[in-house]
Structure 1
Amino acid sequence: MPCTRRAGLADPTPFRPVPEAPLSPTPPPVTVRRRALAVAGTAVALLVVIGHLWSRDAAAQGPVAVTASMAAAFTALGTLVLAGVPGHPVGRLMTAAGLTAAVAALSLSWSGITPVAWVGQWLWWPPYGLVILALLVFPDGRLPGRRWRLVAYLIVVTTVVATVALAVAALSDPRRLLLSAEPAATAQARTLVQIALLAIGVEVLALLAVLVALAGRWRRATGETRQQLACLLAAAVLFLLGLVLDALNLSGAWVLMVIAIPGAMTLAVLRYRLYGLEQVINRTLVWLVMSLLLIVAFVSTVSLLRDLVLRGDTSNASLVTTGLIAVTFEPLRHRVQRGVNRLLYGERDEPYAVLARLGDLLERTVEPQAVLPLLTRTVAGSLQVPYVAVELTADHDPDRPQKVHAEHGRPTGSVERFDMVTHGERVGSLVVAHRTPGTRFTSVERRLLSDVALHASVAAATARLIRDLRASRERLVTAREEERRRLRRDLHDGLGPTFAGMSMQVRAARKLATDRQRLVGILDGLAEDLRTCTAEVRQLVDQLRPPALDRGLESALRAECQRFDGPGLSVRLRVEDELDRLPAAVEVAAYRIVGEALANVARHAQATTCDVVVRRGRALVVEVGDDGVGVRARRPGGVGLDSMRERAAELGGECDLVDRAPQGTLVRVRLPFQPVASAPVPVDGPG
C-alpha cells in the first residue's frame, strides 16, 4: 500500500556505467519527463475545454469544474514534491490523485460518448481517497503509528467499494449523473448508489480520524514541522467542510475542497521551505500560469472571431488566434517570469528598485538609530530572506568581535557577510541568511547585497558613533558619580569626625583656662589634628588634579620622566614649544598618558632608551618611543592602550600605537584644544 512505504528508499536499479555523450546533445531524462508532462497536461486541459464546449451538458458543468481544478492543483503539487524528493509517498499520492482527477474530468467533459461518459461516473471519487491518504502520511511519508495502519486500510477499502458500486450502477445509464438530484434508472442502481454513499460516509469519518492524527503530530512537533502541520491541519478542516457542504448541494462549496489542501501544501513549500522545492516551483508556476493564460486566450479569441468577425468560420479563427498568441507569447512569458521571481525571491532582479527604496528610507528617517532596524526589514522583505542583521565593529579596533546592532527574523541556515565600508574604514557587516539550508546566493544577489551594504555604511557609521558616544557618556556619568561618592565618604569618615573632635577639644580648653598644664596638652593634640586634616585635604586635592601640574606641564613631565629614569632605562624629554595657556583637561590627559606610556615601557618593552617628544601647534602632540621588543613580542594586555585612547577620545583626540621595525614602539597622541587665558599658578597651602 503506498501510504505504508517509507520515504527515501534506495533505487533498486543496479549501477551502470554512463556512456559517452553523443555528438548531438540530448536533454537529461528528468527534463524529458517534465516536458512530456507539460505537453500532456496542456493537451488534457485543451481536450477538457473542447469536450465541454462540444457536449454542452449543463448538468456536468459543476463536476467538470471541480474535478478539473483538483487535477490541475494536485498534479502540479505532486510533481513538485517528486521533483524535490523522488519517490516520496506524499508526492506519489498527490500525483496519482491529480492524474486520476484529470482522466475523470476528461471523461465528464466528453459525456456525449457513452463509454467515456461511463468512466466519468465512477472515476471522480478515487482522487478524494488518495488525498485523505496523503494527509495521513504528511509530511514525512510515514504513518503516525502502527495503529493507524487500520485507518489506512479502511480508507483504501471504502474508496474501492464506493468506486466499484458507482461503476456497476452506471452501467444502467452511463450518461446520467448518479449523485445528481435525479434518481438512478433501476432499483439495483439505486441500491448500489446507497452503498457508495455509505462507503463515502465511512471515509468522511476516516478523514476525521486523520484530522486527529494531524492534531497529535502538530502538538508533538517543533520548529518548522509544527508550522507545516498547522497549515495542513487548517486546510484539512476546510477540505472536510467543503465536502460536507458540497454533499448538501451548497453552491460553490467545492472551492474549499479544491484550494484547501494544495493551497496549504504550497504555502508549506513557499513559506516554510518544505522539501526545498523553490527552484522547481519557479518553472512550474510559470508553466501553470502560461498554460492557463493560453487556454483562456485561445478559447476567448476563437469564440470572438468566430461569432463577430468570421461568421462561424472556426478554422480561420483558430489560425488567426494562433498567430496572435505566437506574437504575444514571449513578452507575456517574460512578465509572468518576473512576477514569479518576485514571489519567490523578492526584487533580486530589480536592484535599482531596492537601492532606490533604500535611498528613500535613509532620506525619510529622522532618527538615526531607527535606520538600521528599518534597513534589515526592508532587505528581508525585498529579497524574501529569513534573516538580516547589521553587526557593528568596535571603535578603533576592527579586529574585535562584532556585535549585532539590529536584526530581523531568525537564521534558518548558513549566512553570508557583506562589509560595510566608509572612508576606507570597515564599520560593520550586513549579515544575510540563505533562503534554505544548503543554498547560496547568486552572483546577482551578492552584487546587490554588496551595493546595499555600501549604501548603508554611512548609517552604520553614524549608529556606531552614537553607540560609542552613549557608552562614553555613561562611563563619564558613572565615573563622576563614583568620584562624588568617594569624596563624600572620605569627607564624612575622615574630616567630619576630626573636626567634631577638634570642636570638643576647643570647648574643653575654654573650661580649663586656669589649668595651664592640661590646656597645653589639649592645644598640642588640637595642632596634631589640624596637621592630619591638612594632609587629608591635600590628598583629596591631589586626587582631583595631579599636584605636579601646579608648576606647569613641562615641569610635571620632566619630573615624571626622572621618576622612570634609571640604570636600566634612559628616559629623555624634548619639549619643542611653549606649553603655557593649555586647558586643564589637556594638561591632565597629556600627563596621565605619558605616565601610562612610560609605565608600559618599563614593564613590558625591555627597552634601554625611551624618548618623550612634545610639540604644540593646533593640537598638542605627544610621542613616546622606545627601542624595545615591539608590539608583537609583548604579552597580551600589557600595553594598556585602551586607557590612553579613552583619555584622548574624551577630548576629541587620537591615540595610535605604531610598531617601529626592526624594533621598538611609538605611542603618538594628538589632543586638540582651544587656548585659554593665562592664570596664576596656585601656591601651596600651609604645610
Structure 2
Amino acid sequence: MSTVDTGVRAPAAVPLPAPSTRPVGRPLAAGAVAITSWMLVAAALVLLALARPTVDQNMWFLLVDLTVGAVYGTVAAVTLSRRSHPVPWLLAVAAVGGGLAGFGATYTMLDMRRGDLPWVEHISALQGTAWMPGTFALFLVVPWLVREQALRPLEWAAVAAGGALSVWMPIASYRMDAHFFDWCRVAIALGLVTALAVEVRRRRGPVEERTGLGWLVLGTLVLAVSFVPLVVTAVTLPFWLTPALHLVSQAVFPAAVLVVVLRNRLWGLGLVVSRTVLAGLLATGLVVLYLVVVVLLTRVLPGDGTPQLLAAASVAVAVQPARIVLARRVHRLVYGDAADPGRVVRRLGSQLVGDAPVADLLASLAEDVGRSVRLESVAVLADGLEPVRWGEPTQQPQELALRHRGERVGTLEVTPRAGESLSPRDLATLADLGSVLAASVAVARAAADVDALRVRLASVRLEERRVIRREIHDGLGPSLAGIRLGLQGARNLLATDPGAATELLGHLQGEVDAAVAGVRSLSHHLLPPVLDELGLGAALTELGARHSGTELRVDVETDRFDGLHPLVAAAAYGIASEAVTNVVRHAGATRCRITALRAERELVVEVADDGRGVPPDAVPGVGSRSMRERAAEQGGTLTVSPSPGGGTVVRAVLPVDPVPCEERHG
C-alpha cells in the first residue's frame, strides 16, 4: 500500500472482499486485431505504391478505408487489451472491414495496371462491401452498448434492428438490391434516433456515465449524416462530402468510445488521445473553414488568387482561438471532472454551506469524490467520527492525509477500479479535493464536539441541580419545617407562659441564623460574587476564611491573577471548593492548604490536607467526577494522589487561555 503523506504509517491491514468478477482484458485477441488491421493497411499501401494510380475521387474513399483500418484497429486493440466488452469487438470488425476494403481497392488498381492478378473479381468486391458491417454498426449498435446499466426492452430492439441492418447492407450491396438506397434511408433515420437517445442519456443518465457521451453523440450524428449524399437526388452535393464526413467522425468517435468504455482510465494514454483528437479536430475545422471561405469569396471576388489568400489569412487568425477552445473541450472529454479539479472543489465546497445534516455531509462528499475521480471506493477516517465509506474496495487502499490549518484531522483512503491504477493526475486531483474533505472533517468533528459538550453540560447541570436539591431537602427544608413548628409552639405559649415563649423564640432565632448561613454557603459554593468582583485570589481567600473558627484550619496562598479569563477562574474556584468540601466531609483532617500559582501559560491549583487519605478501594463520587470534568473542559488535567506526609493532594493544571471547543476533545 502506498502512502501519499510521507512519514505517516499505514494502519494495519484489514481483510478485503474477494476480487471483483468484472471481465478483464484480452491481450492476445487485442494483438491479433491490431496485427490484422495494420497488416491489411500496410498491404494496401504497398499495392497502392505498385499501382501508381491517377489521383481521382476514389482516393477519398480509399483514404477513409485505410484510416478506419488504422484508427479503429488501434482503438479496438487498446480497449480490448484492458476490458472485454462488445464495443471493441465491433470496432475490430470495422477496422478489419476498412482494411479489407482498402486492400480490395488497391488490388483492383494494380490489376488495372498489370491485368494478370488472380481472384480479382472476388477481391475487388471487398471495396464495396467489406467496410459496411463495421461502419454501420458504429453508429447503429455501438452507441447503445457504451454503458454500464442494463439495456431496456426498447433499447434491445434498437440494437437488434441496428445489428440486422449492419449485416444486411453488405448483402444488399453485393446483390445490387433495388431497394439498397431505401435501406440507406432507414439506416440514416435509425442513426439519428440513436444519436438522440445518447443525448438523452448524456443529460438525464447516471452522472458517472456522462463523460464522453457528448462526443459520442457528435460522432454518431456525423456518421449518420455522412450517408445523406447517397440518397439525396434533388440537390447535387460535392462528391467528397461523404468521405470528408467520415474523416470528421474519426476525429472524435474513436476517442469518445475509448473514454466511455474505459471510464477515463486510459493507463497513460490520456496525453496521446487528447493530442490526437485535438490535432484531428483542429485540422478538420481549419480545412472546412478554408474551403468555406474560398467558396464564398470566389463568388464575389475576381479569381486572381485573392480568395485563397484571404482564406489562408482567416485560417491563420483562427488557429489560436480554435486551439484554446478545442483543447479545453478535449481535455474534459479525456479526463472528465478530473480535468478541472477547481470545478469539483467548488461543487464540493457548496455542500459545506448547504442545509444538509452534518452526519450526511461527509457521506455525500465521499460519493462525489469517488464519482468525480472514477474510483472504486472512498473512505474518510477521523478520530472521534464514525468511518465514512463509499464503494467496496477489492485491493489495498492508497492513503492521503487530510490536513486542516496545518493539523492532520483524518485520512482519505481510496482504491481505483479493478485492474486500474491512480495516475499522477488523479493523485493531484485528490490532493486538491483533500482540502475540502479536511474542512468537512473539521466541521463534522466540531459538530460532534458541540453535541458531546451539550450532553456533558446537561449532565453537569443535572448534577448541580441534584446537589442543590439535596442541600435544600436535607438541610434548608428540615430547618424551615422545624422553625415553622417552633413558631407555632411559641404562639401557643404566648398566652400561658410568656417566658417559655421568649426562650423558644430565641432558640428559633439561632435556627434562622443557621439556615441563612447554609443558604449563603450553598450560593458561595456554586459561584461566589467576590469571584466576579475581585477575582480568583480574593475568592479563594474568602473560601479559606469561611472555615475559620472550625476544627479545620484552611491556609491560602495565591498569586495575583490580573486578566485571568472568567472561564478559567470559575473552573479553578469550582475545583478548589469541591476539594475543600471533600476534605470537610471525608478526610477527618485538621489542616488544609489551598495553593494557586501561575506557571508560564498554566494555572496550577493544589488542595492538600493532613487527613486519612483516599482508601485504595474508594469509588470516585460526584465531587471527584465534577472536578475532572471542570479541568477537562478547559483542556487541563486533574490528579488525586497521596501526600508524602499523609493525607491527600488534589492537583489541577489548567491552561491560562481558554481552549476552543473544537480543540478540547480532538
Please give the TM-score of this superposition, normalised by the length of structure 2. 0.47
Q: Which structure is higher in RCO with an 8 Å CA cutoff and minimum separation 6?
A: 2
